[in-house]
Structure 1
Amino acid sequence: MGGALFSQPWRTIPKSNQENLDFVKSYRPQNKEVSHLRILLHGPVGAGKSGFINSVDSVFQGRITNRALTDATSGSSFTKKYTTYKFHKDQDSFYSFIFNDTMGLQLNNGVHVEDIKLALNGHVTEGHKFSLEHQLKEKDEGYNSSPTLDDRVHVLVSVVPAGSVSSLSDEVLKKMREVRMTASEMGIPQLGILTRVDEACPKVKTDLKNIYKSKYLKQQVEKFSVLLGISLNCNFLVKNYNSEINTNDDINVLILGALRQMITSGEDFLNSL
């Protein structure tokens, strides 16, 4: 793991969270066929998908939340069900985007790629329990045979720990590429999130503001972009809330920046329909 820094950041970070927060709060899909933008997270086991959902919620609540359960010890996927996460704006209303969390991809088991493809098309119902033995079929409980545009996925986000890009197995990469290819055929926009930046670079662990000065992290973003074919400007570095007991602006600004890009990409897709 490298600790060398550029003298200037290779990507600018907003000085303030307010503009991105205002944008996210006021967002409404212009396409009248949908009530919300659906963002699907996928990636290897332990990538930080559930942690990212919790971190987004923490930004909005102004306190640390743990709605999406995470597991730091087992080494197998802790997310078993196809779960939709909405975010409270106030007591009576929600933000106009939702997240879906999927079971992690892993070597010999984990979620079936075909199940993620079905989710992209809106065929997987809320609460469906992923099975290691059987992929979802048309007659199964949990299969939505007539999905609406609301049920379909509007943005696909690939999540990987920044320090694990080089060690992704060929099998997991193949699965991620396959999901990405299906999304591409459907015109669904795709972004990459590289998590655990503080574990990957000691200078970033010392000061999160070094995140886009880190030579090592820039290399990982470039490598991830080549491996999955997601363009460089659609890959984001974030730190999820995990050991913190309070929220802070340095973490929030990275999460909100990535979230805004997810929303604008998804909105472009919905408008193109």
Structure 2
Amino acid sequence: MGNIKSQPEFENPWRKITWGKEKKDNLIQGIKGIEPYKKELKCLRVLLVGPSGSGKSSFINSVNNAFKGRITCSALSDRIGGKSFTVEYKPFEIESGNSSLNVVFNDVMGLESAHNQGCPVEDIIKAIHGHVRPGHVVFCLVYVLAADRIQFAEESVLEKIRYIRLQVKSLALPQVMVLTNVDQACPLVKADLQRIYNSKKIKQKMEWCSNAVGVPMCHIFPVKNYHEEIDTDDDMDVLILQALTQIIQVANDNAKNRSSKS
């Protein structure tokens, strides 16, 4: 019998989670029931930031898939590494039935290692303040990193993320991290997604991200984006919807806090 330290998983999951269609349906209903703090606030704007190829656009599509129950591609994505496929600041609504959720994702060009390539950090700061599109103030900042690539992340890209985090610190802007490609990062998870919180490798990668960027573990959510599937999967949707729930809740809390200070 091998040393227990060499085992790839914990005996018990370190984060509690319920799987399956019933849980997915409950999450969807809960998300639909979240109303913006102020009625005059039409939507909660969320900005997605991350390196090129981290899965920002795929995450938007995956959220849409969970609500539509089918594969969608409203946000164009490119799985080939290198330069960012997203070339402009673009808002995406999440459709649910005949209406849209009260949350809008704003996607921007990916961060790249070269100083003069990718999305300039100054533009991201402007977007957060609503200076890119008047009135489009951001209530939550979401970093998207790929679990299978973080060990190869360029230090310059991480420096850009840290700079953004410091620049928005004074705003008390909530910051959440979505860790994508968990199936590519851990064979255990690739074989069985429900073992994600038993995986030592995934927890280690989450801890690495928390230390490297500064986002607390409780605000980091590992997910598996849709990329080769032709049908939706309830367990994939549960992880995606849990991340979305947290994003919407902290964004709404931020909207409430801003209102009380104004």
Normalised by the length of structure 1, the TM-score is 0.88
Note the alpha carbon deviations across 1:201-239, whole angstroms, 9 max, x for none: 001101101111110110010110011111110001000
Residue 242 of structure 1 aligns to which amino acid in structure 2? H
Aligned residues: 248
Gaps of 5+ in 1: 126-146
Q: Does 1:12 align with 2:26?
A: no
- Partner of 2:46 in structure 1? 39
- Partner of 2:240 in structure 1? 255
- For the Cα contact (< 8 Å) 2:53–2:81, is it kept in 1? no
Note the alpha carbon deviations across 1:116-175, whole angstroms, 9 max, x for none: 0000001113xxxxxxxxxxxxxxxxxxxxx33xx1100000000112222211100110
- Partner of 1:120 in structure 2? 128
- Partner of 2:78 in structure 1? 71
Gaps of 5+ in 2: 1-5
Indicate the larger mover: 176-185 or 78-87: 176-185
Alignment of 1:124-203 (within 5 A): 124-125=132-133, 147-148=134-135, 151-203=136-188
Distance change >3 Å, CA 4–CA 189, structure 1 → 2: same
CA displacement at 1:28 relative to structure 2: 1.3
CA displacement at 1:183 relative to structure 2: 2.2
- For the Cα contact (< 8 Å) 1:156–1:183, is it kept in 2? no
- For the Cα contact (< 8 Å) 2:148–2:185, is it kept in 1? yes
- For the Cα contact (< 8 Å) 2:68–2:97, is it kept in 1? no
Structure with higher helix content: 2
Task: Select the residue among 226, 229, 232 that pairs with 2:211.
Answer: 226
SS state at 1:122 partner: coil
In 2, Cα distance between equivalents of 1:76 and 1:254:
28
Residue 112 of structure 1 aligns to which amino acid in structure 2? P
Distance change >3 Å, CA 3–CA 217, structure 1 → 2: farther
CA displacement at 1:12 relative to structure 2: 1.2
CA displacement at 1:46 relative to structure 2: 0.2
In 2, Cα distance between equivalents of 1:155 and 1:4:
34
- Partner of 1:102 in structure 2? 108
CA displacement at 1:20 relative to structure 2: 1.4
- For the Cα contact (< 8 Å) 1:3–1:214, is it kept in 2? no
In 2, Cα distance between equivalents of 1:32 and 1:186:
22
- For the Cα contact (< 8 Å) 1:3–1:216, is it kept in 2? no
CA displacement at 1:193 relative to structure 2: 0.8
Q: Does 1:84 align with 2:58?
A: no
Distance change >3 Å, CA 87–CA 187, structure 1 → 2: same
Indicate the larger mover: 170-179 or 14-23: 14-23
Distance change >3 Å, CA 3–CA 209, structure 1 → 2: farther
Normalised by the length of structure 2, the TM-score is 0.91
CA displacement at 1:74 relative to structure 2: 5.3
In 2, Cα distance between equivalents of 1:161 and 1:265:
22
CA displacement at 1:32 relative to structure 2: 3.3
SS state at 1:31 partner: coil
